[in-house]
Structure 1
Amino acid sequence: MSPSMKTVHFASADIVIPPSPAPSPPPSPTRSSYSPLSSSPATPEDVRLPLEPLTPMGCLSQLPDAAVDYPVTSIMSPSSDDPLRIHSLLAYSPDRTLPFRYNLVSSPSSLAADATYPHLHEPATRPSRQALCVVVPWATTGEWHVLVKVDTGHVTCLDVLHALHRDLRRRVTHAEYRAIGADMDARRRVDAAYFARCGRILDSAARAAEEKQGVKRVDFLAERATFGGLSARADGSWCLHTWL
């Protein structure tokens, strides 16, 4: 086990908890104390941005071939020649930003309760599906596969955000933490994300309980925890992109 981490027993599982950071020196009066690694991710208020008007027929973005079905219950395409398309609210493009801002650290519940975002309740894909797979890359070679599935109806845009949030709340394993390897800068960014996330909890008891749960998957996104959209992969899954 790496000497840079310690293990505690909590809920019958080994938890990865980084060592406490060294106290920061007082800020110099001639230099800024701002650090992108210690900056707080977006608060729930940051997701309350107005969406651009969209129409049901104009809000779908066609991406490269992603019509491969997974071995799960799904609504089949009317034609095998029809490509699977992702809703424009979820579609990644390096040339544009999404019409809403959502930080994956926070629950998307505020979006669900806000009538400003009716399009988030629309099908995530066309043709609609009861299941789809989102791949979350991390570090240099790792990735997590998130299955978004509903028992009835179809997967909505909001279902995708909820599934990502739930999965990224899972604790990382020691093997995953060690897989960051010798990249100490990457490890510092992960550790800083963990301490920043816990530090934003005002209630001391709730903060202590969260700290005991250790590093979570969302911390591996470090400061790039803002949802940036999904792009199609050749295997039929969708790749998550994130922003600062």
Structure 2
Amino acid sequence: MPARVRFVDVPATPSSTYSGATLASSPGPMTPPVLVPSPLPTKSYFASPVFSAGSPLPRPQVQINNCLAHLPGVGALLHWDLTQECQTAQLRVADGWSSLPSELLAMPATTPKLGSLTIVCDGFPWAITVLPWKDAAWSPAPYVTVGDVLYSVYRALRREVTPAEEKEIRGTGFEKCVQAAYERRWQHIADPNRRMEEYKKGVKRVDFLCQKRMFQGLSVVPEGLPAMNLPPGVVWRLNVSAPVARR
């Protein structure tokens, strides 16, 4: 029996940092990014910890690299249409926009450095596990880099949706939204050969973002994902929005 598509329940994430997380100090295996089907976790709430003189000090904050962060009132420093390759992303600079330098792609995605992290998104029923990419052109590292995050998100969104996954949304308003995103995506390809090729491939996971296809940065999910045994500090929310004119 095929696995059912279930939407990840993502709590509100007002910050791009997290303190008090329990983190693995050693990096994960050097393997390509893995896509993990995510069951719906049960929400739970925890009381604030009380520290006594004998209590251990809180762990250092986990901070996402500024170029990946969701910044309140700003959104993101990156301009990236998620239907396009990650090489098309541009960085906001003082006098406009710039392509991403290899030095930036090779920087750690988080401080402290993590061997893996997981990305979830509202309305997107898959979690994306990001691991160090051993063949990275931006200089491979034993920890997750900025380039690893961008490439893993791109690869995850480009995966084709299975018939069983499409069946889960059939007959719903969400199906119409996904179908409209698919049609817009292939119809806007200029090259006729590539356009027909993309049409034949059908719906992809990026189409589940519907009209909200612009990258707006990552913010921490304070509760983690208990259903996947992922502690706070290693789970990040992908914020997205509909396209707007660049300033």
The AA in structure 2 aligned to 1:228 is Q
Match of 2:48 in 1: none
Structure 1: any 5+ residue segments left out of the alignment? 1-60
Structure 1 residue 63 corresponds to structure 2 residue 18: yes
1:237: Cα distance to partner? 1.3
Once the two structures are superposed, the pairs formed by residues 218-237 of structure 1 within 5 Å of their partners are 218-233=206-221, 234-235=223-224, 236-237=234-235
Structure 1 residue 85 corresponds to structure 2 residue 63: yes
Once the two structures are superposed, the pairs formed by residues 13-52 of structure 1 within 5 Å of their partners are none
Alignment match of 1:240 (pick from 235, 238, 243)? 238
TM-superposition CA deviations, 1:54-92 (whole Å, max 9, x none): xxxxxxx53354443399628xxxx98223211122222
The AA in structure 2 aligned to 1:225 is R
The AA in structure 2 aligned to 1:240 is L
TM-superposition CA deviations, 1:101-134 (whole Å, max 9, x none): 1111111224489366854442110111232221
Alignment match of 1:187 (pick from 172, 175, 185)? 175
Alignment match of 2:78 (pick from 77, 100, 104)? 100
SS at match of 2:150: helix
Identity %: 29
Match of 1:214 in 2: 202
- Cα distance in 1 for residues equivalent to 2:71 and 2:171: 32
Q: 1:67 to 1:226 in 2, by over 3 A?
A: farther
Match of 2:186 in 1: 198
The AA in structure 1 aligned to 2:149 is V
Q: 1:163 to 1:115 in 2, by over 3 A?
A: closer
The AA in structure 2 aligned to 1:124 is A
Match of 2:28 in 1: 73
- Cα distance in 2 for residues equivalent to 1:225 and 1:70: 33
For the aligned residues, what is the CA RMSD? 3.1
Structure 2: any 5+ residue segments left out of the alignment? 1-15, 30-56, 91-97, 135-139, 225-233, 243-247
The AA in structure 2 aligned to 1:73 is G
Q: 1:208 to 1:149 in 2, by over 3 A?
A: same
- Cα distance in 1 for residues equivalent to 2:130 and 2:199: 27
SS at match of 1:241: strand
The AA in structure 1 aligned to 2:166 is Y
Match of 2:93 in 1: none
Q: Which has the larger radius of gyration?
A: 1
Match of 2:34 in 1: none
Structure 1 residue 123 corresponds to structure 2 residue 108: yes
Conserved? CA contact 2:116–2:129, under 8 Å: no
The TM-score with structure 2 as length reference comes to 0.61
- Cα distance in 2 for residues equivalent to 1:100 and 1:125: 16
SS at match of 2:151: helix
Match of 1:37 in 2: none
1:232: Cα distance to partner? 1.5
The AA in structure 2 aligned to 1:238 is W
- Cα distance in 2 for residues equivalent to 1:135 and 1:189: 20
Conserved? CA contact 2:189–2:195, under 8 Å: yes
SS at match of 1:179: helix
Match of 2:159 in 1: 170
SS at match of 2:99: coil
Q: 1:65 to 1:168 in 2, by over 3 A?
A: farther
- Cα distance in 2 for residues equivalent to 1:226 and 1:96: 13
SS at match of 2:160: coil
